Amino acid sequence: MKEKTVITGMGVLCAGGAGKEEFATTIREGASAVRKLAHVDVATLHTKIGGAIDEETLESLCEDKDASKRLDRCSLLAQIAAEMCYADSGLQATEDVPSRKGVLLGTAMGTIHTIEDCYRRYWVDKTPTMRPSTIPRGLLNMPASEIAMRYGLLKINQTVSTACSSSLLALAMANDYILSGTADIILVGGVDCPLAPGAFRMWDSLRIMTRGFNDRPEEASRPFDAARSGIVLSEGCGFVVLERESTAANRNTRIYAQVLGAGQSNDAHPMLDPRMDAQVECMEEAMANAGVGIGDLSHIQAHATGTPLGDVAEANAIKYVFDKDAAEIPVSSIKSVIGHTLGASGILSVIAVLIGMEQGFIPPTINLENLDPECNLDCVPNAAREAKMETAMINSFGLGGTNVSLIVRRP
């Protein structure tokens, strides 16, 4: 029998909570983490809200007090979430584990804070020289490399960047590495910190962030709702430990879920106009690789970001794939609660699903007051649903066209 891969640890740090317990409470209660932004000058911007991590929380979680000076914010979040994940998996307490370990990290904007600081020093402050730490802080692969060094991960160290689908693609790649025998244990994560002043202005100019809820930030992120008007940008990081099932059994560790399979596709199409047929191909390939049928899914954790075009395309793709059964499958989006964390969104969606499997609930889509008739699915409106979740699909569709669907099952 073909051996499976399993998820044995998780760590999370985002506007919705620090640690899996806080995150679970936020998701289960449907408590919006979106607020008015205090650290960004938004006076001249159309969008003035987002999902920011509280600075006091971040400081309290950082044991290395010099880390904030040495590391980019992206690397700092990754270190904290990876530490939570590593501890949760029991790897710290296990001496006899395989040496073929690695890290795969997905990110869209990476070390944007360091890059912005560099440009500000040169163009605004007219500083003729840069800090020697700029390159070690600012390279896109540094967050993953810092983690590899911290835990002695000697086999794989890779950074994946496909916009919003980065971390789910990283998990699919890690699954392939383990199944092929290339590695035994991989720390898989996603991180993005797009609330840097310049980065936030770039997103504001793209006109895909919601603009009509600055006075009601908690109501702003509303996937599938008829009044949705765009994404809410957030920062965050999540990690899981993926390993061979036999390795987990030898360690006698808890297993959250099995990874059954994944699918990929690409739009090759104008980036703000997602292709339904590409999403259909992605989901169908994931189901074929996972060996599951239309009636086997308990839940779909949708990519659904709250854009007028994107939500309809995904809803139509789901209806095409599942046909008459589509209305029977609970479909929801945790972005309604925590906002869109870009490259971290896929792995945070996985973690939300794992928590739902463990605790017996399906995450809600909050702010769903009037379902868009074109998104006529069971979108789990406004309150978590008590239910036994056996098998779930997670969708992650990246700006630029890279689509990923992944299927997990309770052990």
Residues pairing with 51 in the sheet = 234
How far, CA to CA in Å, does 262 sit from each of 49, 282, 290, 388, 401? Answer: 34, 8, 7, 22, 16
The amino acid at residue 321 is V
CB neighbour class for 284 (10 Å; exposed up to 12, middle 13-18, buried from 19) = middle
HSE-up (13 A, CA, CB side) for residue 332: 30
The amino acid at residue 267 is D
Token pair recorded at residue 407: 């299927």
What are the start-end ranges of the E strands in 226-307? 236-244, 257-266, 299-301
Whether the CB-CB separation of 89 and 6 falls below 8 Å is answered with: no
Nearest Cα residue to 396 out of 328, 273, 300, 292? 300
Token pair recorded at residue 368: 């769903």
303 among known catalytic residues: yes
Query: Which of 118, 303, 375, 379 is labelled catalytic?
Result: 303
What is the CA 74 to chain-centroid distance, rounded? 14
| H or E segment to which residue 391 belongs | strand 391-397
Residue 151 CA to residue 157 CA, distance in Å, equals 12
Token pair recorded at residue 359: 């605790």
Residue 377 CA to residue 368 CA, distance in Å, equals 12
Q: At which residue do the structure tokens 């789910």 appear? A: 168
Whether the CB-CB separation of 238 and 11 falls below 8 Å is answered with: yes
Angle ∠(356,357,359) on CA atoms, nearest 5: 65
Query: Which of 164, 193, 237, 282 is labelled catalytic?
Result: 164
- Tell me the Cα Rg of the chain: 20
Query: Which of 193, 237, 282, 340 is labelled catalytic?
Result: 340
Number of H helices, E strands in the chain: 14, 15
- Considering only the C-alpha atoms of the chain, give the largest distance between any 2 of them, rounded to a whole number of Å: 65
269 among known catalytic residues: no
Active-site annotation, residues: 164, 303, 340
